[in-house]
Amino acid sequence: MPSTPDSKSARQRRGRPPRDTRQDILVADADATFCRALGELLTRAGYAVRTAADGHRARAELDRRQPDLLILSLNLPGLSGFELLQAARQSRASPGTASCAAAASCDSVTPQPTSTPLPSRLLPVLVASTFGFEWEASLVEADGCLRKPLRPGEALRAVAFLLDNNQNNIFH
């Protein structure tokens, strides 16, 4: 009887990292279609993705396990995106300072400079918005914007850019 490869080695051959090393992304948005499409896109790209349709569920997910990246709408029902982001950053922060990602290598990431020092273990954030995205992202000192409707190539480049530049939990 031929032996079958275990699921871990099969994932490695398909080019996906093993489950325990995948970067974790939390998508918090009330738009179910957007969450489903983005979740499927990111999962196919090898990321571990969790979604939340409102601010309270997103907060529960943040409390359960801190993600490597947060993608959120600021207009979440229940707990707003502003409140959620404040809570996420307070729980993730550690001493030190850094600035947000300085120069984007893709069109969909609009880096937002900050006037105050930020904690070095800051949670990278993309604000998802249908309009006024640069203004909304600047309100919360987000690291970039993800425009709706979803543009798969831009979304993947934005996510990869932020995660690659936060490998050591410090923005350069």
Contact 159, 108 (CB under 8 A): no
Q: What global pTM score does this model have? A: 0.70
Eight-class DSSP state of 17: P
Paired tokens of 150: 């979803």
Kindly list the domain boundaries of the chain, sorted by start residue. 22-164
Paired tokens of 61: 């997910």
Per-residue pLDDT of the chain (172 residues; tens, 9 = 90+): 444 445 444 445 455 544 457 999 999 999 999 999 999 999 999 999 999 999 999 999 999 998 999 999 998 999 998 899 888 777 655 333 232 332 232 344 444 444 333 333 478 999 998 876 667 777 778 888 888 899 999 999 999 999 998 754 333 3
Task: List CB contacts of 34: < 8 A, sequence separation 6 or more.
Answer: 128, 148, 149, 150
The CATH superfamily holding the domain 22-164 is Response regulator (3.40.50.2300)
Determine phi and psi for 124, rounding to 5 degrees: -65, 140
